[in-house]
Amino acid sequence: MTLTVLLADDHAMLRSGMRAIFETQPDLQCVAEVADGRAAVSEVARLRPDVAVLDIRMPKLDGLGATEMILSDPANRTKVLLLTTYDSDEYVYRALNAGASGFLLKSLPPEELISAVRVAARGDALIDPSVTQRLIARFAVSLAPPPTPPELALLTAREREVLQLVAAAYSNAEIAAQLHVGDETVKTHVSRVLAKLGLRDRVHAVAYAHVNGLVQGRR
């Protein structure tokens, strides 16, 4: 089974270089070459290649925009590999968000470009190692639980419980009902929480709880 590839880059020389690389592989067929993003989008829609190799820097529509347009159309099953000279973080995040199957630097050895096309075609993905390192770091922090501020240890269990409810925007009366205690008790707890955390009022408490991850609204 042969894989069809579309090449998009505004440098004709680079395109022919890549085409030459692919032609060494009997199962890879370069079905189109385009020089800008808009042409890439329309040719992908017309030819439905297995893989589109897009440069990020292109006239009219850059590779990221083209990726987004291609992948947002459910009729397309084309996988997108993005190529770039510089690996700006912003590019990477946007590319991955758009659903690209690869983010590679142009310094990639030819045989790895070939393997990348095969990887993308079978639905897997790959990212240049120099980018992966930072991606992991970013991913780790995005998964890491927010650091618990030390002053939170000053609170008793009951006070933390009340703080959670305050953060959920419940009024004192509502909290009292949920905890089956009097509302005067809740007022006492809230006052202690505010004093211990150095917060002015419950509004600050709500903000504090949210920025410190005491409320898991999605994430």
Partner DNA sequence: AACCGGGTCCCCCGCACGGGGGACTTCCGA
Partner DNA sequence: TCGGAAGTCCCCCGTGCGGGGGACCCGGTT
Which residues contribute to the site for DNA (CB under 7 A)?
Answer: 156-159, 171-173, 176, 179, 181-182, 184-185, 187-191, 194-195, 200-203, 205
Tokens 């005067």 locate to 184
CA atoms within 13 A on the CB side of 97: 8
Q: Could you give the residue ranges of the DSSP H alpha helices within the chain?
A: 12-23, 37-47, 63-72, 89-98, 110-121, 129-143, 157-167, 172-179, 183-197, 202-211
Least distance to a copy of itself, CB of residue 161, Å:
17
Least distance to a copy of itself, CB of residue 78, Å:
15
Euclidean distance between CA atoms 88 and 97, whole angstroms: 15
Q: Which stretch binds a copy of itself (CB under 8 A): 7-15, 21-29, 157-165, 199-207?
A: 199-207
Residue with smaller CB distance to DNA, 94 or 202: 202
Name which of 101, 33, 94 is nearest 65 in CA terms.
94
Residue with smaller CB distance to a copy of itself, 188 or 212: 212
Residue with smaller CB distance to DNA, 2 or 191: 191
Residue with smaller CB distance to a copy of itself, 32 or 126: 126
